[in-house]
Amino acid sequence: MKSQNSERVKDMGRGREIYAEIKAIPPLVVRADGRNFKRVLSDKFEKPYDERFAKGMAEAVKNFFVSSGFDPKLAYIFSDEITFFLSMSLLMVG
């Protein structure tokens, strides 16, 4: 029973992986953009810039560098977007 449930969950996840079949040759520039951040954060954070949010974005980048399994060389943060530069050593590390 447990294996049937886990297979069903995997199948559901595969259906949501709309970009899973895209192949790319490194180096890559990858942009991660916050979804609905303005709506979600509108009444909780100061405008136009909130120091807590900026520190959270910087911490997210730091965590990606340390534990993503990739070898990013550069990250650029602007507003609710993070852009990563992944070099030729794109193979998983660690």
Tens of each residue's pLDDT in the chain, 94 residues:
556 666 766 666 666 666 667 777 888 899 988 777 777 777 777 776 788 888 999 999 999 999 988 889 999 999 889 999 988 665 555 4
The pTM of this model reads 0.66
Q: What is the pLDDT of residue 20?
A: 67
In a domain, 92, yes or no: yes
Q: What is the pLDDT of residue 66?
A: 93
Q: Identify the helix (H) or strand (E) that includes residue 67.
A: helix 51-67
Q: What is the pLDDT of residue 63?
A: 95
- At 58, which amino acid appears? A
Which domain, by its residues, includes 37?
22-94
In a domain, 1, yes or no: no
The number of folded domains in the chain is 1
CA–CA distance, 64 with 60 (Å, rounded to integer):
6
Residue 60 near residue 75 (C-beta atoms within 8 A): no
CA 42 remoteness from chain centre: 21
In a domain, 11, yes or no: no
Count Cβ atoms below 10 Å from residue 70 Cβ, excluding itself: 19
In a domain, 9, yes or no: no
Among residues 33, 61, 37, which one has the least CA distance to residue 49?
37
In a domain, 15, yes or no: no
Q: What is the pLDDT of residue 62?
A: 96
